[in-house]
Chain A
C-alpha cells in the first residue's frame, strides 16, 4: 500500500496570505503508462469532498486559479496564492496510481 503523508496537519493563515501543503508518497506515483495519478481535494465543513486538481497540476473547470499544484515522483505541493474565507476546510492529497487508492491524512486550513 502506498502511504501518503501530508504536512502540516494544520495551517492557520491570514486572509490574503499564501498557504502551502506538502504531500509525500512512500513510493513513486508514476504509473507504467507514464502518468502520475495525484489529485488534491477540498472538504469544507459539512460538505462532501470536492476535486480541485488532478494529475499533479490540472485544475478542474471552475476551480479558482489561486489554487495550483506541482511536484513529481514522490513529492507534491498544493499552493493557495491568497487565502479567502471560502478556502477554510480540510485538504487531502490522493493517489490513484495503485490499488488500494490512498489519501493523505488531511491538512486543516483555518483563518488566523
Chain B
C-alpha cells in the first residue's frame, strides 16, 4: 500500500547532528515533491522543508535555514533530512508528507507515522 516510513530519530545533545530518513513505497516516488513537517510537544504543526520531485528545488522554514538540509535519492525511494547544530527547540515528532508534482500548492495527502527527535543534554 501507499506509505511513508520515517526513521533515524533519537536523543541528541545540543549542537550535534542527526539524519532522518523517510522510505516511500506503493507509489511512484520520483513523481512527487515531499515535505518534512514537525510537531513539538504541546505545540501545533510546523512546516520544515520541501524538495521537488527531481531534487533540484528546495525550500526551508526560516527556523531551520542554514542548519537543516533536505535531499532525496530517487533510486532508493528515500527522503532525507540532515539536521545540524541542533537546538532544544528542534525537539519534535518529525513527519514526512507527500505533496504533488509541483513543489508549491499541492495538499499533503500521505503522511508517515513520524519519528521523535529529542535534543537534550
Contact = CB atoms under 8 A, between A and B. Distances in A.
B104 interface: yes
B59 interface: yes
A101 interface: yes
B106 interface: yes
Nearest to A50: B111
B114 A48 contact: yes
Interface string B103-116: 01111110111100
A20 to B, nearest CB: 19
A106 B104 contact: no
Interface of A is mostly: loop
Given A48-B114, A99-B59, A100-B61, A54 B44 contact: no
A103 B104 contact: no
Interface string A45-59: 000111100110000
Interface of A: 1, 31, 33, 35, 37, 39, 41, 43, 48-51, 54-55, 60, 90, 92, 94, 96-106
